[in-house]
Amino acid sequence: MFFRGHYRWFSNFTGGFVDEYGLRWKTAEHYYQAHKTTNQYLWLEIFESPNGKAAKHLGNALRKSGNQIPEWFKIRNAIMLKALIFKFEQNPAALKLLLLTDEIIEETNTWHDNYWGNCICAKCKNLPSKNVLGKFLMRLKKRFLFQINNAVTIGCYSTNAVVSRKNVASGVFRGRSIRSRLKNITCRFVNKRPRRT
Ligand SMILES: [Zn+2]
């Protein structure tokens, strides 16, 4: 699936969030790209870039200019996963899309990215693809479903007490659709202000 239209919330270019330091990121792409460098000027340039596309462009130039941290390929998965957790915890539309998507999530693309997704161009068509982003999203879905079923607070969203561990254990929710469970999700503080440093 292409991460646009109905699936646009799966795109790293869609959906901002506040991180653990109170910084408000415009997109997950900004967060991911900025973590490639320890150069504060380049970091700030990425942080302040107007959209995910611009952030990606700046981030991709870091390697060539010698400003990408050497251990980047060891930590990039962890950075991506953190960005996704922040994003899906803080964007109700993204969380709903994730929980209501039953098909296998695959990041289909045409820009030859067979690591995070699967490029379908003529050149890449027969190459193996890892679809790491798609797999991360499916992992997150499982994590959030567990939290919902056990009435654990998801970021700023808290599941209604109706969806309690006891109710799940006693089978109250057996057979109920995820859609009906989602009605019990309420948001406590969507507009939490970031602490600027
Ligand atoms: Zn390709």
If you measure from the C-alpha of residue 109 to the centroid of ligand 1, how many angstroms do you get, rounded to a whole number?
A: 8
4-40 burial string, b = 16+ CB within 10 Å, else e?
eeebebbbbbbbbbbeeeebebbbbbbbbbbbbbebe
Q: Is the pTM of this model over 0.85?
A: no
pLDDT at 20: 86
If you measure from the C-alpha of residue 107 to the centroid of ligand 1, how many angstroms do you get, rounded to a whole number?
A: 13
If you measure from the C-alpha of residue 127 to the centroid of ligand 1, how many angstroms do you get, rounded to a whole number?
A: 9
Query: If DSSP codes are grouped into helix, strand and coil, which group holds residue 43?
Result: helix
| Helix (H) / strand (E) containing 183 | none
The secondary structure of 65-101 as a DSSP string is TT-S-TTHHHHHHHHHHHHHHHHHHH-HHHHHHHHH-
**Domains of the chain in sequence order:** 5-101+141-149 (1.10.357.40), 150-197 (no CATH)
Taking ligand 1, which is a single-atom ion, which protein residues have CB atoms under 5 Å away? Answer: 112, 119, 121, 123-124
Q: Are 89 and 157 in contact (CB under 8 A)?
A: yes
pLDDT in 10s for each residue of the chain, 197 residues: 999 999 999 999 999 999 888 899 999 999 999 999 999 999 999 999 999 999 999 999 999 999 999 999 999 999 999 999 999 988 989 998 999 999 999 999 999 999 999 999 999 988 999 999 999 999 999 988 887 776 555 554 444 434 444 444 443 333 344 444 444 444 333 334 445 55
If you measure from the C-alpha of residue 175 to the centroid of ligand 1, how many angstroms do you get, rounded to a whole number?
A: 42
If you measure from the C-alpha of residue 139 to the centroid of ligand 1, how many angstroms do you get, rounded to a whole number?
A: 25
If you measure from the C-alpha of residue 181 to the centroid of ligand 1, how many angstroms do you get, rounded to a whole number?
A: 39
pLDDT at 124: 95
If you measure from the C-alpha of residue 63 to the centroid of ligand 1, how many angstroms do you get, rounded to a whole number?
A: 21
If you measure from the C-alpha of residue 126 to the centroid of ligand 1, how many angstroms do you get, rounded to a whole number?
A: 10
If you measure from the C-alpha of residue 137 to the centroid of ligand 1, how many angstroms do you get, rounded to a whole number?
A: 22
pLDDT at 145: 85
What is the maximal distance between C-alpha atoms in the chain?
A: 59
Nearest to 14 by CA among 2, 31, 26: 26
